[in-house]
């Protein structure tokens, strides 16, 4: 499948899932406000994190479709990181609101209205989320998309959260009203974890943290005939969009045209073995004296 068509397919799947996640979130939030169940309300806000994840993924996929230009020679992928920062600010605001509401409910306990309709709505949203996970995982395998696979994993956590809320609602129905705000705090924990994961990902990219293990890069380079070794291996970017630069050791007597050819062999082999590498800059140099002496023996 051509890359442009694959990107379009991934975007289409994300748009469909975004619509479903918004339906689930709105249903839970409305139910939470009507019933007074802070756990359901919090779970609705947590479902918004799935929608936020879809939006960030769509921004990333759209940016990936844009080729580098004169103003953006390294491409446009950091627009995804910028979107992630905006989502993080939104989630932190939601987290503060959820915790505040849960603590207030613990201090001033009130019995929410827990009826059959609530269980039907919560059950329906869980079924939708399960179907989303199955559909997204199948699409991820078909389109070879890490973005869809990661998003499906995120939605799986939403299913677990909703099940814990349903368990709390059963407890409230049996007279344990304190379980409602406690379940809301549990949901707040899931939202906090999502915030932490986004913070880690964005800080890693913006801080140019190494993406690939140097040893696996070195092993791949040293398999190329004529290459004596390499060092100063540096990688940066996101896990699926990596920039690499390194110094490759060649025999000092190697003709310039042969050295140029070998540098392209190294680059091609790296990009085939690690498809997440979008560009590699290779500097040719003679080996250190000890390696040079060893190669001459």
- With helix as H, strand as E and coil as C, how does 256-272 read? HHHHHHHHHHHHHHHHH
Most confident listed range (6-15, 86-95, 218-227): 218-227
Kindly state whether residues 95 and 193 are assigned to the same domain.
yes
Kindly state whether residues 107 and 221 are assigned to the same domain.
no
Kindly state whether residues 249 and 105 are assigned to the same domain.
no
The whole-number pLDDT of residue 76 equals 67
The whole-number pLDDT of residue 241 equals 77
Kindly state whether residues 234 and 202 are assigned to the same domain.
no
Q: Give the count of domains, the chain.
A: 2
Confidence check: pLDDT of 106 > 90: no
pTM (2 d.p.): 0.65
Domain boundary among 176, 206, 236: 206
CA-to-CA dists, residue 57 to 18, 54, 181, 182, angstroms: 10, 5, 32, 32
Give the confidence band of 248 by pLDDT, cuts at 50, 70, 90.
very high
The average pLDDT across 120-136 equals 90
Domain boundary among 180, 206, 232: 206
Kindly state whether residues 260 and 188 are assigned to the same domain.
no
The closest of 63, 76, 58, 77 to 13, measured between CA atoms, is: 58
For 146, the domain range is 3-206
Kindly state whether residues 185 and 111 are assigned to the same domain.
yes
The whole-number pLDDT of residue 296 equals 54
- CATH no. for residue 58? 1.20.1510
Confidence check: pLDDT of 293 > 60: no
Domain boundary among 157, 175, 206: 206
The whole-number pLDDT of residue 38 equals 85
Kindly state whether residues 141 and 247 are assigned to the same domain.
no
Confidence check: pLDDT of 7 > 80: no
Strands 241-250 and 227-238: antiparallel
Confidence check: pLDDT of 47 > 60: yes
Q: Which percentage of the chain shows pLDDT scores above 90?
A: 15
Q: How far is CA 130 from the centre of its chain?
A: 19
Confidence check: pLDDT of 283 > 90: yes
Confidence check: pLDDT of 258 > 60: yes
The average pLDDT across 261-266 equals 92
Kindly state whether residues 162 and 236 are assigned to the same domain.
no
Kindly state whether residues 95 and 240 are assigned to the same domain.
no
The whole-number pLDDT of residue 77 equals 67
Kindly state whether residues 174 and 38 are assigned to the same domain.
yes
Q: How many CB atoms lie within 10 A of CB 252?
A: 12
The closest of 210, 151, 126, 207 to 16, measured between CA atoms, is: 151
Confidence check: pLDDT of 60 > 80: no
H or E segment at 77? none
Kindly state whether residues 150 and 232 are assigned to the same domain.
no
Position with higher pLDDT, 69 vs 172: 172
- CATH no. for residue 273? 3.30.70.1350
Position with higher pLDDT, 94 vs 258: 258
| Structure letter (DSSP) for residue 113 | -
Position with higher pLDDT, 259 vs 81: 259
The whole-number pLDDT of residue 282 equals 92
The closest of 239, 235, 262 to 251, measured between CA atoms, is: 262
Mean pLDDT of the chain: 82
Distance CA 243, CA 264 (A): 16
The whole-number pLDDT of residue 261 equals 92
DSSP assignment of 102-162 equals HHHHHHS-------HHHHHHHHHHHHHHHHHHHHHHHHHHHHT-HHHHHHHHHHHHHHHHH
The whole-number pLDDT of residue 127 equals 92
The whole-number pLDDT of residue 1 equals 56
Residues making up the chain, counted from first to last:
297
Position with higher pLDDT, 84 vs 267: 267
CA angle 199, 200, 206 (to 5 degrees): 85
The whole-number pLDDT of residue 284 equals 92
Residue-wise pLDDT tens digits, 136-195:
888 888 877 766 776 777 677 778 788 888 888 888 888 888 888 888 888 888 878 877
Kindly state whether residues 241 and 270 are assigned to the same domain.
yes
């Amino acid at each position: 499948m051509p890359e442009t068509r694959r990107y379009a397919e991934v975007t289409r799947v994300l748009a469909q899932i975004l619509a479903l996640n918004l339906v689930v979130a709105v249903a839970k939030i409305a139910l939470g406000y009507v019933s007074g169940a802070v756990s359901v309300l919090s779970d609705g806000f947590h479902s918004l994190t799935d929608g936020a994840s879809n939006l960030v993924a769509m921004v990333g996929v759209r940016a990936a479709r844009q080729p580098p230009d004169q103003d953006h020679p390294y491409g446009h992928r950091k627009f995804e990181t910028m979107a992630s920062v905006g989502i993080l600010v939104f989630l932190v605001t939601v987290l503060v609101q959820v915790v505040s509401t849960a603590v207030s409910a613990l201090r001033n306990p009130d019995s929410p209205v827990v009826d059959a309709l609530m269980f039907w709505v919560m059950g329906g949203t869980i079924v939708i989320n399960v179907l989303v996970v199955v559909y997204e995982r199948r699409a991820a395998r078909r389109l070879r998309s890490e973005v869809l696979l990661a998003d499906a994993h995120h939605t799986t956590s939403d299913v677990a959260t909703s099940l814990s809320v349903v368990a709390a609602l059963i407890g409230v129905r049996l007279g344990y009203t304190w379980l409602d705000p406690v379940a809301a705090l549990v949901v707040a924990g899931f939202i906090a974890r999502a915030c932490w994961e986004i913070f880690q990902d964005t800080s890693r990219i913006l801080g140019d943290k190494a993406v690939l293990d140097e040893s696996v890069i070195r092993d791949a380079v040293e398999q190329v005939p004529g290459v004596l070794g390499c060092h100063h291996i540096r990688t940066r970017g996101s896990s699926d969009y990596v920039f690499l630069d390194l110094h490759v050791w060649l025999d000092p007597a190697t003709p310039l045209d042969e050295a140029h050819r070998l540098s392209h062999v190294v680059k091609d082999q790296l990009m085939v073995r690690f498809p997440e590498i979008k560009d590699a800059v290779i500097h040719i140099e003679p080996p250190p004296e000890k390696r040079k002496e060893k190669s001459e023996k």
